[in-house]
Structure formats: C-alpha cells, structure tokens
Structure 1
Amino acid sequence: MSDTKTTRTPADPMRSFSEDTDMKRDLGLLEAVSIVVNRIIGSGIFRTPAPIMAAVASTSLFGLVWALGGIVTIFGAVIYAELAAMMPRSGGPYEYLKMSYGPFWAFLRGWAMFFVSETASITAVALIFAEYLSAAWFLVNGVHLDKMVIFGVAFGTIWLLTAINMWGVQFSGWVQNIFSFVKIAAVGSIIGIAFTSWSTGNWANFITPLFPESFGGTTILAVGAALRYAFFAFSGWEGATYIAEEVKNPRRNLPLSLFIGIGGVMLLYLGANAAYLFQLPPERIAEAPWVATEVMTVAMGATGGILISVAVMINTFGNVNTQILCKARTWQAMARDGVFFDWFAKLHPTYRTPNNALIGQAGWATVLLVFAVLADNSYETMIDFFSATSTIFNILVFTSIWVLRRKYPDAHRPYRAWLYPWSLVGILAIYFAFLVITLITAFVPSIIGLGLTATGAVYYFFKVGFGRRAAGASAD
C-alpha cells in the first residue's frame, strides 16, 4: 500500500499544547508502562555490570554508581512528567526543545538522535541479543558464534522488528505487554534463584573489596566512566513520551507511566545486582560480559546458563522492538515540521504508522552495525560514541522546564515537578560533571559523535534556510 502524508503542523505554536493528532490513540496506561519497562530493561542490567565493576574495582563504588544512576533517573522523570503532561505530542524531547529554544536546537537534537545516539542504542542492544545467543550456543556446543554470524543475527533482529512495527501501534502495544511481563519474570528469576542457591553464594563478596585501594582524582574519573554504562542501563525511561499522540488520556497516563515503570525497574535492578554479587566475586563480575549467564551457570549448572541466556535474548529482543516503535515517531514529527527528510513525514493510510521513518531508521542502524562489529569492544564502543552528545541534549531538555515556565506561564500544567527548582539544580550538577568526565575518559569517540551532530547544522542551513529564502522570493 502507498503511504499518505500527514498534515503538517500549523504555524500556531499553541498546537504543541493540544491533544490534536492524526494518529490513533490505541495505547492505554498498561501499554505506556510496558513501553517504559521495555525501554529500560534491555541489555544494560545483563551487560553493563562488567564494565562498571572493571572501572571501579570495589563493591562500595559499584553500588554508588548504580545508586547515582537511579537518582538521576528519578530527577529526570520528575521534570519530564511536567513537560509530557503539558505537551502530549509525539517526539517528546524534540517537541520540548522546539518550544523552548526554537526549531534549530530541536532539529539538531533529533539529528543527533538519528545519526548518533538513538539508532546506535538500537544497534548496541541488537548486538547483545546476538551475543547472548552466542553464549547459549557455547554452553550447548562448546564454541562461540563468529562475528559474521553475530552480525547476521543482529541485522535480522533490527529488520524483523521494523517490519512488525509497520502493522499498527495497537499490535505493537500487545507485543510490549508480553515482553514486559517476560522481562520482569526473567530478572525476578535471576534474583530468586541466586538468593536461594545458598551452597554457591557468598555474602563476603559484598565486602571484598569494599573500598578501592586509594581515593583521588583517578577514583572520580573511574566513577564518571562507570556512570556511562549505568546511565545506559537506565536509559529509555522517557520512551512513552515519544508516542504521546498514540496514548489515551496522555496528560494523566504519561506521568503515571514514568513513575510506575521507573519505580518497578529500580527495584529489579537493585535485586539483580545484589544477586550477581551474592554468586560471583567482584573480580569475576568485572571479567563476565555475560554476567547473568555466569550467575545462573554457577547456581544451576549449564542448564541454568542456557535458560537465562534465552531469557536475556527475549529481554533484549523486546527492548529493540520498543526502541524501534518509539524512536521512529521523532523522525516523523521532525519531517512533519519540515526540518527532516520529507519522506519520513508520511503515515500509512490504514495503520497510521510512520513506516517510512521506520525503514530509514533501520537503514542507518544497519550502517552503525557494520562499524560496531568491526570494533574490538563493539558494545562499549557504541555507548562511548553517543554518551557526550546525549548528555548535552539531555541538559538542554531538562533546562527547558525553566524556559517554558517563563515563556508560557499560563499553559495548562496538570502536573508540576516535585521539589522544583532543586530537582532541576541537582540533575544539572550531576550531568555537567558527567559530561566533563566523559570528554576526558572517552575523548575520541565523543568527538566523533559531536562531529556527526555538527553536520546537522549544515543540513539545516540548506534544507530550511534555502527553503525559506526560496519561499520568500516566490512570494515577492
């Protein structure tokens, strides 16, 4: 079937504060919560404990990194809840930046999301799906899958789930509910089995070593470097805001979905990391990229390792599906505003889904997948690549709450951020410190990501600047 182009957003800026939409509102609170859960629980809790422990080399700092990741997530949700309830528009952060700083900065953030951060995240999680398949294959056959097979599995995952999401958001919502239940069950089973396997567990792992050998500047840099992976493990909590125009009663359900989803996931993360430490000493966690498989193999033998590898594969598969669903809505919203590829603005005439944006997203994720597979540490490379860029734009999104309260003081705000302005001050302080440390500890990949982002300014100049001048000339 051919696509039909959605109606371009009117010039009236107050449209951003309305609930008018060309899309179908088929998602309820349950689906919105499922999207939050699915977006957060992906590869992070199963893959990032190893690089975090390797960076900090002590259980106290390991716990500190995870605690900071959770605190920042809570502060972020507090701010996003006000923004989402005030502007229930697809694209989430893109819409908030557009109304705060103008279309250029909103576009540049969207450009960075597409070419740097968000498609790279899709690629990273698809790779973990393939890596855990390799781990299960090793437990059964004694050999790991080679890189080309891992590439093929990740490639097939991205394109299969893209195709599924082209069949309508209601169908995608059902898929979200199924995967969120499986994810909660999988993480819960790790916690339950690990803590009931007394013969293999050891409480001494929690305090050996409790502190690093020394404290100083290198310790701060180590914690900052480890936070890259903790932030990635918690990332995606804002996912429901990307599909705001497809959620029923969005002013109520979007804030609720953030708090319910994040609260539940944080409890699961706390339990999972404690379970890892109960079964494995810190030095072994640092060397265990497939830590969940290691834990279950210790607790239950090879059968347990195979079962949890399959469960992690299901988790990461569901996370890729959620990312594909949510993120394509930003590209469509940008194109609808006339600042991105025009082709992406079209919606399917029957399903009202942004199929062209979905295809374009999968295409660029495939390009990143090729480069990632060629790297020695493909997962860490992807995270290092987009961390600095994402942090800069997260800072801009968070500060938009301050800007919007001054630009539109009378806008309807069904929810107002808790502890404002201190919640904003706290999260900005952490993010600025994290940005500095990231630029120090991952300079080259950060510069590459920022350089790709800067190319968006050139595109915007030619796409929007020339277009406006041409329109002015024709009007004359």
Structure 2
Amino acid sequence: MNGGSVSDDARLGTYVDGVAIYQDANGAPVEQISPLGYHVGWAGILFLNVSQMVGTGVFSTPGSILRALDSVGLSILYWVFGSIIAFATLTVYLEYASLFPNRSGGQVTYLEQGYPKPAFLFPTAYAFFIVAFSFSSSNAVVLGRYIYRAAGYQAGEWANKGLAIASYTFLALICLLSTRWSIRLMNLISAVKLIILLFIVVTGFAVLGGGTRVKDPGANFRNSFSGITNNGNDIVNALVNIQFAYRGYDNAFNVVAEIKNPLPLLKKVAPLSLLIVSILYVLANVAYFAAVPAAEIRESGELTAALFFEAVFGGKAAKGLPALIAVSAAGNIMAVIIGSTRGIRECGRQGVIPFPHVWASTRPFGTPLAPILLKWVLTCIVILALPFGDAFNFLIDLRSYPDAVFIFLMVVGIYSLRYRRKKEGLPPAPYRTWQISLILAAAVSLFLVIMPWYPPDDGGDVSFWYGTYCAVGIGLMAGMGLYYWVWIHFLPKLRGYKIRTETTVSNQDGSVAHRLTKVPDSNIAEWDRTHDDAGNVLFETTTRVETADTSQFGLGANLSFRDAHLLDTCSILRTYDMYNFRNRYGHQRLQTCSSRQQNRN
C-alpha cells in the first residue's frame, strides 16, 4: 500500500495501491494501516454477510408471509423479490466502497461523505442512534429461548433473561479477545448454517421426488396463485418481513478497512454471499410447501421448520431443530457484534462522541474495546429492564424506523456525491451502480419509511397506537437536529468561540481520530493561518529538519517540510511506521494533528 496524500480545498486525497482516493476533509481521518489488523479475507466477507442474514427468520418467517399474502405462489415469489431488492441496495454499497476503500463503518461513513454539509450534522444524528440503539437484546433472547427448547426445559421469563445475558456475554468476550478467532468461529458457525439450509433444500427435492413419507408433495403448488390478498397493509407487512430476512447483506462493508485490496474482493464475494442465501431461501420455502400443508404453515408461527422436519422424519427429528436454530442465532450475534462495533468506532473517530481516542483505541487486544463494552452494557440493560411484551417490542420498532430513514438517505446520497465529484473535476467511482438499481433501492426504502404510518388491521404488535414508534423516531431525529444547532452554532456564537477539528494519533496503537476543539474568537485568525481546510498541517518538530527523504514513501523525491501541508502526514506516519519516521528525522514529540472545519462559522 503506497501512502501519501494531496489536498483539494475541503477534500483529502489519499493513495491506496497507487490510486488516489478523495474524501471530504470533515470526515474521520483515514487510517492507512488498520489498527484492527487485516483478518478479513474472502471467507470473512462471505460469512459476515451470510451469518447476519441467516438468523432465525428463514425457519419461522414463511408462516407470517403466507398468512399475509394468502398465496403459496406469491409467497415464494416474494423471496425472489426480496433478493432483487437486496441486490439493488448492495450495488449502492459497492459504489460507496469503491470511493472510500480505506474506511470501515459502512453506513456511518457513507452518510458522512454523502452529506458533508452542514458539517457534522449527519455524523451527530447518526452517532446518537447507533450508540443509543446498539443493543442486541432480541437476538440474545431468541438464543436463550432456543437453548432452553433444545434442552427440553420450559423456562420462565427471568430464567430466559439470565441465559440470554450469559450467552451474549460469552460471545461478546470472544469478539473482544481476538478478531481473528472470533471471525474463524463465526465462519465455522456460518458454514453449519449453510449446511442446515442445504439439507432442508435437498430433503425438499427428495419430497418432491416422492422418496419420503409425504403423500402429496405437489398439493400446495396446484392453483398456487389463487386467493391472493387485496389488503395493502398485509402486502406491505410481508415485504417488511422479507427485507428483515435478507438484512445483513451489507455487513462486510463495516470492515472494509480490515480487508487487503478490498474492492475486488467485495465486488466478487459480497454479491456471491447474497446469491447463495437467496437461492437457499427460495428453495427452502419450496421444500416447506412440498412437505407441509399450507393451512398448517399459515398458523405455524415460529414452528415452520419444525413442521417440516416432523412431516418428513417424524416427531423425534423435530426436537433437534431448536439446537440448530440456537447455533444459527449465535452466529448471527457474532456477526452483528463484529460489524456494528466498527460502525460505533467510526462515529467515535468522527469526533462527535466525547473521548474519541477511547472509542478509536484498539488496546489491549487489537479489538474495538469500548464499542464492544457499550453493546454489552446496553444489551444487558434492555434485557433486564424491559419485560417481554409491549415495551420490548416498542424499543425494537423504535430502532427500526430511523434506520429505514438513514438507508433511504444513503441511497439518495449517491446522487449528491456523483454531482459534487463531477463539479470538482474528480474521477467517477471505480464501480458505478446501475440507474435502475438506485431507483429501485430508493423507492423501496422510501416505501418502508412511509409504510408504518398505514394502520394495520390487527393494531400492530403493541397495545397502544401503532404509529407511536414512528412519531417518537421522528421526534428524536428532530431533537438531534436541535441539539446540533445549539452545539455547533448557538453556543459558539453566545460564548465567543468556533469549532475546529483536531486529528489525534495514538502513540500506542496508531489509531487516528478527530477531536472537535473550541477555539476562542481571539485566537481564530492565528488558528486559521496555521491550519488549512484539508487538515494537512499535522505535526511540528523540536529539531529543525529542512528536507526529508520521501522516496521510500513512494513519493519519488525529497520534500521540504515547508511543503508538508501538501501531504496527509498522519497517513504517512501511520503507513510507514510513525515511530521509525520520528526517530530517523529527530521528532521528539508527535503532536496532535489539526484540521480546519470546512464551513467557517
């Protein structure tokens, strides 16, 4: 990886494998060498996506979808539609990743770069939601419930809560102690998931071929499109359930900076992971309908897969299913921890969360300690504090609505990014998604933003007003907008200071983060004179050095330190061993690197 950088007004340009990569200067600083290491290869990309997609949904969702649509044929087609929608949105992620191949965090980074103005608005709003709603309580509860079912034990609510916390703690500890081994374990569990689904598919073919105890495997496929519902809310709910089942196809984009030469791998493996899961999902549903009468699937709830095993192999075989689902849920939790903690870390590196160096740090295990601890604490609090029922379901729903809004904004942000890059004379993205993909992804995501306001026939999954979580979600987003205005504009004007960004480099693990600094109005002229828009006045020395040999950096010539503002020196120090660089050129003290806010107040 060749390092160095150039600046173009408010953009930073960084070289990755000899290719110039530009990002907005207010974004979190690039770490040319990932402090988290490079433990994600093609298998990691494949199974990070697979493990988050394949949780418990494919084993239970078919019943709710059939109940909503009243048609076997349309139910199966919906799984195909869901995969097409997921592919369309995946290509949007690929375009973002091609523009920012040295940034992890997925949606965190892409919203930051898609909407750089007003400075810090989107990072602030998104950071609130990703931090406040970083719990994984529902996944942990499902895991605990199925462990008890596998053991044949009828557990009460508190016993279920206790096992959920214990299970989540164990998995979080694995992710905390070693990224390498947590990914390896997750890969193994994900492979088991695929084998389970493949077994269901192969068994389904055997059923259709007449090689099992099922009497009439084609019964559900005769007149399979008759009786289609005309209830708009039911059709929408089925689409929501399908989208939820495919959620996770973007998980690998949370760890882009931990992949060597990420774009070629992501272009091949990310679509492959979605293709594999899509085919298995569709064929698994065909298997279910071949073995189990539609009326039983419609009323099955969480037991669709159990009915399948019972119909094909007998009642005893179905008793082993909870253990398989528990394994699937465990892999899902690990994939979520690995992916989402990178998003939290990026929010910290943006400087919009207090103590950014703490969130960015990878000590002592080379893992994101603070984000993992945050997820663990919030997950335990939600599990312990909320009883199963309305409050629990409300909190889960509340998290989902802003997420739908952010996905829509991320998709639309591609148009803004393309326009700004063209206006600034920057090259187009190395990977450019199709226009039809953008339109489809934007339309579906907007549909999912509007849909929850439509009144459901059954009143929803809570006893109070069905749209409460939507209204509260919008209220929280409006509140974050007000908080941003007070923090960035009102208070600085009232107290006589301006907000500027500082980039801090850790001498312990090399992690790099922004810190938002209050600069008094009396000092702002001096600050602006010594710090440029792109943040390239990055360090100063106690030993005067006029020139340095930068040929080893891939820059091909000696460079005067008077011109150091032309280089993203933090990136150089990080890429080419900042400790050796400091020792060789007499830098006794590595100071904080500073960058200037793009929008002067």
Shared fold (TM-score greater than 0.5)? yes
User: For the Cα contact (< 8 Å) 2:71–2:225, is it kept in 1?
Assistant: yes
Q: What is the match of residue 345 of structure 1? A: 359
Give the match for residue 172 of structure 1. 182
The answer to which structure has the higher helix fraction is 1
Please say if residues 232 and 383 of structure 1, whose CA atoms lie closer than 8 Å, have aligned partners that are also in contact: no
Q: CA deviation at 1:357?
A: 0.8
Report what 1:161 is aligned to.
Answer: 171
2:228 is aligned with 1:241: no
Q: 1:283: Cα distance to partner?
A: 2.8
Aligned partner of 2:558 in structure 1 is none
Aligned partners of 2:299, 2:182: CA distance in 1, in Å? Answer: 37
2: CA distance between counterparts of 1:291 and 1:262?
Answer: 23
Map Cα deviations across residues 415-471 of structure 1 (whole Å, 9 max, x no partner). 221xx2222112222222232222224522333444444444455456656585571
Q: How much has 1:371 moved relative to structure 2?
A: 6.1
Q: Distance in 2 between matches of 1:315 and 1:275?
A: 19
**Normalized per residue, which structure has more strand?**
2
CA shift at 1:259, angstroms?
Answer: 0.7
Who is 1:271 aligned against? Answer: 283
Look up the equivalent residue of 1:160 and give its one-letter code.
F
Aligned mate of 2:325, from 307, 312, 316: 312
Task: Choose 16-25 or 122-131, whichever is displaced more.
Answer: 16-25
Paired with 1:247 and 1:262, the residues of 2 have a C-alpha distance of: 19
Structure 2 gap ranges (5+): 1-9, 15-21, 24-29, 457-465, 493-497, 500-516, 525-601
Pick one of 220, 223, 226 that aligns with 1:211.
226
CA distance in 2, matches of 1:388, 1:239: 19
Cα offset for 1:348? 3.0
Residue 474 (structure 2) pairs with residue 445 (structure 1): no
Cα separation, partners in 2 of 1:464 and 1:310, compared to 1, 3 Å = farther
Deviates more, 1:13-22 or 1:314-323: 13-22
Letter in 1 for 2:286: A
Structure 1 distance, partners of 2:520, 2:279, is 59
Query: CA separation in 2, counterparts of 1:372 and 1:422?
Result: 43
Equivalent of 1:91 in 105, 108, 123: 105
Distance change (3 Å), C-alpha of 1:192 and 1:157 = same
Contact kept in structure 1, 2:198 and 2:280, CA below 8 Å: yes
User: Is 1:224 aligned with 2:236?
Assistant: yes
Distance in 2, matches of 1:384 and 1:52, equals 19
Greater Rg over alpha carbons, structure: 2
Q: Which amino acid aligns with 1:303?
A: K
TM (norm. structure 2) is 0.70
* Larger relative contact order (Cα-Cα within 8 Å, sequence gap ≥ 6): 1
Could you tell me whether the CA contact under 8 Å between 1:126 and 1:320 is conserved in 2?
yes
* Contact in 2 for aligned 1:111/1:453 (Cα 8 Å): no
1:104 is aligned with what amino acid? L
| Counterpart-to-counterpart distance in 2, 1:285 and 1:450 | 36
Aligned equivalents of 1:299 and 1:391: distance in 2? 39
8 Å contact from structure 2 (residues 76, 286) kept in 1 = no
Separation in structure 2 between the aligned mates of residue 256 and residue 370 of structure 1, nearest angstrom: 42
Share of identical aligned residues, percent? 22
Question: Runs of 5+ in structure 1 lacking a partner?
Answer: 1-10
Once the two structures are superposed, the pairs formed by residues 4-19 of structure 1 within 5 Å of their partners are: 13-14=12-13, 17=23
Contact 2:176 2:369 in 1 (8 A): yes
8 Å contact kept, 1:36–1:261: yes
Separation (CA, whole Å) in 2 of partners of 1:152 and 1:240: 31
Match of 1:473 among 514, 517, 520: 520
CA-CA distance at 1:381 after TM superposition: 5.6
Q: TM-score, normalised by structure 1?
A: 0.87
Instruction: Name which of 368, 375, 380 aligns with 1:354.
Output: 368
Distance across 2 between alignment mates of 1:366 and 1:451: 26
Deviation at 1:229, TM superposition (A): 1.4
User: Once the two structures are superposed, what CA deviation does each residue of 1:17-68 show, in whole Å capped at 9, x if it has no partner?
Assistant: 5671442122211211111111211122123223222222221332243222
Instruction: Render the CA deviation track for 1:316-337: whole Å, top value 9, x for unaligned.
Output: 1001001001101111111111
Q: Structure 1 residue aligned with 2:405, among 392, 411, 424?
A: 392
Residue-by-residue CA offset, 1:212-237 (whole Å, 9 max, x unaligned): 3653xx2x221111222111110011
After superposition, the CA RMSD in angstroms is 2.7
Aligned partner of 2:94 in structure 1 is 81
Q: Distance in 1 between matches of 2:140 and 2:482?
A: 31
Answer with 200-209 or 296-305: which moved more: 200-209
Change (3 A) 1:447 1:349: same
